[in-house]
């Protein structure tokens, strides 16, 4: 029978106790609501009625772009001229059309158009990618009711309110729908809401009983109805409405609503009515417009530009004052300028006006202090970095075929500055797969395979012992070898046996496999243990025709792992009916395989509050059994006096499993008599069918009465398989000094379990749980929460154990009070003292508020990670980005250095030229300086520079701390580079003046004119600046060589080609290189001398730093350069071990805790052997 056929016969709501009980119209009646906020009317199966008012609603088309055709130009221009430098050059470009400009208008406008145009093109490209993604979503297909009971395909964007749609398994819901029916007989369906709230567990939705007959296409031929409900709103967890159908009114609640972007799972199909479309859907109501964010480096650049602009104003005022003085007192004597016939700007009688006019000229002339190409170069680097991210083979998911996708590059460099990571979806850390690894049955531990934590601990401890052996005596070295041998026993030899991997089952122990458990002393207990695994669940089996074995569709991966384990042990669950579970038992005392039926009498399912699941079954012998699995603390509290036989041994095993990073559950049972069960079942059925606010409490009380006096049978240990690289990633982040907060909509139990799986939590970590008491008095609740926070802070302060670590766990209800203005600082103070912070069941607004609190309260850079609709506010609040640490700071510093070195030479020449506004450089030199001749090397610096390789960075994650510490872009560095630029400008100008002022330049004895001097100075600048950037680089590829030396060659090519043009075009530069500069030895000697002198201070500084105060990456660079990592592996391992930071979270912290535990055990064993002495020889 097919899987759909099996499920069609199941009324799954009968399996559930606390959920999936649908109210009838006569039980609870309709919701009563009037007034604003509840005006939505949906005419079911009549979408044409929604084409006109008052029922006309928004289309199902969605757009997440930042711009459109009409808004792109004004919004993009507004973005660009928010930048201080661009605004300045816009003003300069406008003034360049006046006679006051020292340069031609073309030379001022062209760079501005190029820079702004390139930045706008980048914005357009990134928004185009969002646009194409929107098209892909809008054009998804879904089946809709065309009429007369016939369904056809339609794109999502064409759906209308009132449409009947049919969604099939593994498809996303195209809009917010009212569930009418499903492939299950009783209208149950499973929904994955990972895109909405980050939860990986499936949700059970249920249709109204009155619409269950609408379970095939023809049933909708004459279907009509009316939905009256709330207006569109962003609340993902609430819904209020009424459904009018067949002259009855039925109340609707969130359990009947299927939200857009959630996915149908484990259900063949569902039918639904479209209620909210497009931007009216709840997921889109949670979305916000794409924000325009600027990185901290870019914002800091503005402040630096303010400093440079202040310098520009200062030297412009000096120049204008000098010009006014020269005009008043000296110009009357300059008869060749005809001062009596000049205009107002050069009138000796009006020096103030001349000075003001010259101020405008000077502001334009010295404008090269402001680096116009800085922004565009950084934009190019960001685009290149985004391209590298998209093409990175290490960020490619082979299973799905999806590469990384950087949808924006505006904040690339921010990742290099991150202090706190706020992550939403803990499920992205795991594969949602559990592997059955170990178990304890009747006080005996089974399972010889080691967990990832145990293996890593043994390997690390062995490495530590090996390093310590170098400095130990021979005697102690022998003891170390003995310890190492004992450590190796942690990793079993059985693990070397290669077997085909079984998904969900990594158990290895010959004592239980292949029926060998029958030879164990407690075979009856082992059989009962396996039966509990095979019976106590809600899963549905599915036959794999290729392998002949069964796989299982379960609500949680734990259940799937237990069923796979039971199957491999010989107890295969293969069939479920409405009232029974069937298990194929391959091994028995008789030696015959048997199919057994267990009648399900009652099922009390697992909830985060109960922390246990129970089934009551009748076996083929008529015996009634209660089978229970749950958290050990819950199970142990419910054991009878006679049921604690294995409690001590099982507790010891559970602690060992937890220390090994495994998730555990305890298993228990008890036998029931007929009269005992009948009396309890009568009470249970009364509670189950009751109506009213006390129903849940009554059910819990009745369940509590039955789940007591249990007999412990054993415990399970499963390993939560993480996504590839997740433990290492979190460990490296912790080693790098980043703090990790989890803000999730998951239940507390789920979030904590995944926290353990990814090592944010670990055994021995002290958990600080802040909870709100149940009280209607808000002040009383706040006072209690504040008291808990104060006590926790005091406890952490008084902690004396250096290895102690604390984890803060808080839920959304508590956060509602903790985030109040008078409490949030206390909450933050506690949180920053904890190694991990997990906030569970938080709303989208609370995520944003917590993120804002961390960002503003700590003043550090925050990175938010999330992919659900409820993460938008958090992402909007955080400083988010992807990039490379440190490089942008160096890039910006270099820009200011080169522009100061170049721009100040213009000011010095002004002093020699009577502050006349004459430039020593040709206009084309100025144009090419920023745009071509010095921009390509700095782009290569930003895009390709590596202090050390990425592999080395992962081995020394503490290197990341250089970014948050701002070692490459603090004011000390910035002022240092500005000082370097000042020094270089003085050398370039005055050394050239000294060489050429009154010396013969040509063979004929002529001295250098202004064009020869200016071109020589410009050549020196190009050489000095490009050599400077070469000295700052640590990693060279052919691209860097091409850009650096190519820029210098390009300068000579330009000078040669431009000089070959006609004199009307080239002016005084005509044949300048060929006839004047190239034949003059002093030109080449001056270039060499100035270049060396300009770079000497930097070389001296970096040499001193590397010798006496090296940074971490300097030491690693030297080790790599001398190949010590290859030639001396012991030294390299020792350096890596020294660089390993002490952390409180992450895989390393968990391994260190395991090592401490192993060392204590080994020391005790060693002391014990010394006390008892060696055994006497026979």
Among residues 447, 690, 490, the alpha carbon closest in space to that of 1161 is found at 490
Widest distance between CA atoms in the chain: 128
Q: How far is CA 252 from CA 31, 192, 397, in A?
A: 8, 21, 41
Return the residue matching tokens 């599915």. 542
Which of 280, 424, 947, 1011 is flagged as catalytic? Answer: 424
SS3 968: coil
Nearest to 214 by CA among 247, 245, 175, 169: 245
Q: Using alpha carbons, select from 161, 201, 159, 206 the residue that is nearest to residue 182.
A: 206
* Rounded distance between C-alpha atoms, residue 12 and residue 1118, angstroms: 67
Contact 270, 182 (CB under 8 A): yes
**What is the spatial distance between Cα 257 and Cα 238, in angstroms, rounded to a whole number?**
9
Q: Which residues on adjacent β-strands are paired with residue 310?
A: none
Q: 3-state SS of 995-1064? A: HHCCCCCCCCCCCCCHHHHHHHHHHHHHHHHHHHHHHHCCCCCHHHHHHHHHHHHHHHHHHHHHHHCCHH
C-beta separation of 710 from 668 below 8 A: yes
Q: How far apart are the first and last CA of the chain?
A: 70
Q: How many angstroms from the chain centroid is the CA of residue 341?
A: 71
**Residues 1139 and 1133 sit within 8 Å (Cβ to Cβ):** no
Q: DSSP class of residue 103?
A: S
Three-state secondary-structure class, residue 799: coil
How many other C-beta atoms lie within 10 A of the C-beta of residue 208? 22
Of 305, 315, 325, 301, the residue nearest 363 (C-alpha): 315
**CB neighbour list of residue 383: distance below 8 Å, 6 or more residues apart:** 122, 125, 409
Length of the chain: 1178
Are 575 and 541 a contacting pair, CB within 8 Å?
A: yes
Structure tokens at 366: 């010295």
Q: What distance in Å separates the CA atoms of residue 1022 and residue 1049, rounded to the nearest whole number?
A: 10
Which residue is associated with the tokens 């979270």?
A: 1145
Strand partners, 565: none
Which strands form 164-168's sheet, in the order they lie side by side? 150-155, 141-147, 164-168, 269-276, 176-182, 257-258
Q: Quick one: which of 517, 436, 443 has its CA closest to 713?
A: 443
Integer Cα distance of 328 and 323 in angstroms: 9
Distance CA 870, CA 234 (A): 9
Taking the alpha carbons of 495, 501, 507, 513 in that order, is the dihedral positive or negative? negative
Q: Which of 591, 544, 587 shows the shortest CA–CA distance to 569?
A: 587
C-alpha distances out from residue 581 to 340, 712, 966, Å: 113, 23, 63
**Owner of token pair 């302060």:** 797
- Euclidean distance between CA atoms 892 and 300, whole angstroms: 10
> Annotated catalytic, 424?
yes
CA distance 317 to 324: 10
What stretch of H or E contains 375? helix 373-391
Burial of 597 (0-12, 13-18, 19+ CB in 10 A): middle
Which residues belong to the active site? 424
């Amino acid at each position: 029978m097919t899987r759909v056929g099996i499920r069609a016969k199941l009324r799954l709501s009968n399996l559930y106790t606390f959920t999936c009980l649908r109210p009838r119209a006569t039980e609870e009646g309709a919701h009563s609501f009037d007034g604003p906020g509840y005006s939505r009317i949906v005419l079911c199966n009549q979408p044409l009625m929604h084409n006109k008012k008052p029922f006309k609603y928004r289309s199902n088309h969605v757009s997440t772009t930042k711009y459109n055709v009409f808004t792109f130009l004004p919004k993009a221009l507004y973005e660009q001229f928010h930048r201080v430098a661009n605004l300045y050059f816009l003003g300069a470009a406008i003034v360049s059309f006046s006679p006051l400009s020292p340069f031609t208008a073309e030379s001022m406008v062209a760079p501005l158009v190029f820079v702004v145009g390139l930045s706008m093109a980048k914005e357009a490209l990134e928004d185009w990618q969002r646009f194409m993604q929107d098209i892909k979503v809008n054009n998804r297909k879904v089946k809709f009711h065309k009429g007369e009971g016939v369904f056809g395909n339609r794109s999502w964007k064409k759906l209308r309110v009132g449409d009947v749609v049919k969604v099939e398994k593994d498809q996303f819901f195209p809009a917010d729908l009212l569930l009418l029916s499903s492939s299950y007989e009783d209208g149950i369906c499973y929904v994955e809401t990972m895109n909405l709230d980050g939860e990986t567990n499936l949700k059970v939705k249920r249709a109204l009983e009155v619409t269950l007959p609408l379970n095939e296409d023809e049933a909708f031929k004459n279907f009509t109805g009316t939905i009256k409900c709330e207006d569109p709103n962003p609340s993902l967890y609430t819904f209020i409405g009424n459904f009018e159908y067949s002259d009855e009114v039925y109340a609707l609640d969130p359990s009947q609503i299927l939200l857009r972007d959630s996915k149908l799972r484990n259900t063949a199909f569902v039918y639904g009515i479209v209620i909210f479309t497009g931007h009216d859907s709840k997921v889109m109501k949670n979305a916000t417009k794409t924000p325009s964010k600027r990185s901290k480096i870019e914002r800091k650049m503005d402040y630096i530009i303010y400093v440079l602009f202040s310098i520009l104003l200062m030297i412009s005022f000096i120049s204008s004052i000098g010009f006014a003085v020269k005009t008043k007192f000296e110009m009357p004597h300059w008869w060749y300028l005809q001062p009596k016939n000049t205009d107002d700007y050069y009138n000796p009688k009006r020096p103030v006006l001349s000075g003001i006019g010259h101020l405008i000229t000077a502001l334009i002339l010295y404008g090269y202090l402001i680096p116009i190409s800085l922004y565009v170069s950084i934009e190019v680097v960001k685009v290149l970095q985004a391209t590298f991210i998209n093409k990175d083979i290490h960020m490619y998911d082979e299973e799905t075929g999806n590469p990384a996708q950087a949808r924006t590059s505006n904040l690339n460099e921010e990742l290099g500055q991150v202090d706190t990571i706020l992550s939403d979806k803990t499920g992205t850390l795991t594969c949602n797969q559990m592997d059955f690894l170990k178990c304890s049955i009747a006080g005996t531990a089974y399972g010889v395979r080691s967990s990832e934590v145990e293996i890593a601990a043994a390997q690390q401890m062995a490495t530590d012992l090996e390093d310590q052996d170098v400095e130990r005596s021979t005697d102690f070295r022998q003891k170390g070898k003995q310890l190492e041998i004992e450590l190796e026993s942690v990793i079993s030899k059985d693990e070397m046996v290669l077997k085909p991997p079984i998904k969900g089952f990594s158990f290895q122990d010959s004592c239980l496999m292949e029926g060998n458990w029958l030879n164990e002393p407690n075979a009856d207990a082992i059989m009962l243990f396996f039966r509990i695994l095979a019976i106590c669940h809600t899963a549905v089996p599915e036959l794999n025709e290729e392998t002949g074995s069964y796989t299982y569709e379960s609500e949680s991966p734990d259940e799937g792992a237990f069923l796979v384990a039971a199957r491999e042990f010989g107890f295969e669950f293969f069939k479920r009916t409405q009232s029974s579970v069937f298990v194929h038992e391959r091994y028995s005392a008789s030696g015959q395989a048997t199919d057994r039926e267990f009648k399900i009498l009652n099922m009390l399912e697992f909830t985060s509050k109960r922390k246990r699941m129970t089934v009551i079954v009748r076996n083929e012998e008529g015996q009634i059994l209660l089978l229970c699995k749950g958290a050990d603390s819950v199970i142990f509290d419910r054991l009878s006096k006679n049921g604690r036989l294995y409690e001590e041994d099982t507790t010891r095993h559970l602690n060992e499993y937890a220390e090994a990073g495994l998730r555990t559950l305890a298993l228990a049972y008890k036998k029931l008599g007929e009269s005992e069960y009948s009396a309890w079942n009568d009470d249970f059925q009364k509670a189950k069918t009751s109506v009213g606010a006390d129903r849940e409490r009554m059910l819990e009380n009745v369940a509590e009465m039955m789940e007591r006096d249990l007999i412990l049978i054993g415990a399970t240990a499963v390993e939560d398989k993480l996504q590839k690289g997740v433990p290492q990633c979190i460990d490296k982040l912790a080693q790098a000094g980043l703090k990790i907060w989890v803000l999730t909509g998951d239940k507390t139990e789920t979030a904590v379990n995944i926290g353990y799986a990814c090592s944010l939590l670990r055994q021995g970590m002290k958990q600080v749980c802040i909870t709100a008491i149940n009280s209607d008095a808000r002040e009383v609740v706040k006072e209690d929460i504040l008291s808990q926070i104060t006590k926790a802070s005091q406890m952490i302060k008084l902690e004396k154990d250096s290895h102690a670590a604390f984890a803060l766990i808080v839920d959304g209800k508590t956060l509602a009070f903790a985030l109040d203005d008078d409490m949030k600082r206390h909450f933050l103070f506690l949180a920053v003292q904890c190694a991990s912070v997990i906030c569970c069941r938080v709303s989208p607004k609370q995520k944003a508020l917590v993120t804002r609190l961390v960002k503003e309260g700590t003043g550090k850079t925050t990175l938010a990670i999330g992919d659900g609709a409820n993460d938008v506010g958090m992402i909007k609040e955080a400083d988010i980005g992807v990039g490379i640490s440190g490089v942008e700071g160096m890039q910006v510093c270099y820009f200011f250095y080169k522009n100061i070195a170049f721009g100040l030479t213009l000011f010095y020449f002004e002093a020699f030229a009577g502050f006349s506004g004459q430039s020593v450089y040709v206009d084309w030199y100025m144009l090419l300086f920023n745009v071509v001749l010095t921009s390509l090397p700095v782009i290569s610096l930003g895009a390709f520079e590596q202090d050390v390789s990425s592999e080395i960075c992962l081995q020394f994650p503490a290197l990341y701390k250089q970014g948050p510490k701002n070692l490459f872009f603090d004011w000390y560095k910035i002022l240092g580079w500005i000082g370097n630029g000042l020094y270089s400008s003085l050398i370039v100008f005055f050394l050239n003046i000294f060489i050429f002022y009154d010396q013969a330049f040509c063979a004929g004895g002529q001295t250098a004119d202004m064009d020869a001097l200016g071109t020589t100075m410009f050549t020196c600048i190009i050489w000095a600046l490009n050599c400077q950037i070469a000295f700052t680089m640590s990693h060279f590829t052919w691209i860097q060589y091409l850009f650096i030396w190519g820029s210098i060659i390009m300068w000579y090519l330009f000078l040669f080609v431009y000089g070959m043009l006609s004199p009307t075009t080239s002016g005084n530069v005509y044949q300048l290189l060929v006839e004047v500069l190239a034949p003059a030895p002093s030109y080449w000697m001056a270039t060499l001398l100035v270049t060396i002198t300009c770079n000497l201070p930097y070389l001296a500084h970096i040499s001193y730093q590397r010798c006496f105060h090296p940074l971490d990456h300097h030491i690693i660079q030297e080790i790599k350069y001398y190949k010590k990592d290859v030639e001396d592996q012991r030294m390299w391992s020792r350096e890596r071990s020294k660089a390993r930071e002490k952390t409180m979270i992450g895989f390393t912290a968990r391994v260190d805790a395991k090592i401490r535990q192993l060392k204590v055990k080994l020391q005790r064993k060693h002391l014990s052997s010394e006390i008892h002495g060696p055994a006497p020889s026979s």
